[in-house]
Structure 1
Amino acid sequence: MSSKTLLTARLSEIFSAIQGEGLNVGSRQLFIRFALCDLRCHFCDSAHTWSVP
């Protein structure tokens, strides 16, 4: 990637929370939720991000 390459992405939200499971339990985590995902996974907890508001 050259130094002049600009990458962009549509974001739905950015938020922090305390990790509740796994090796990092109890530590603060930063979550970045991307918008316009086209995979439509049946287990997705963010279906509201599938389209533009």
Structure 2
Amino acid sequence: MEKRLIDVALRHGLNDYIIPKWKAIFSIKDHFENLMGKSVYSVLPGVVENTFKF
């Protein structure tokens, strides 16, 4: 998700709403992670392998 947000910001630029929007997105992500008890990345197929390359 972080890579996608940065990619969009680089292509389209920033405005006054981007930081509050990102904070809201991460707040929603945190909410669901707390409900699930684990990272959302761990339950989405292929995300860990494609995003966090070691």
- TM-score, normalisation: structure 2: 0.16
- TM-score, normalisation: structure 1: 0.16
Q: Give the structure with higher Rg (CA).
A: 1
Higher relative contact order (CA 8 A, sep 6+): 1
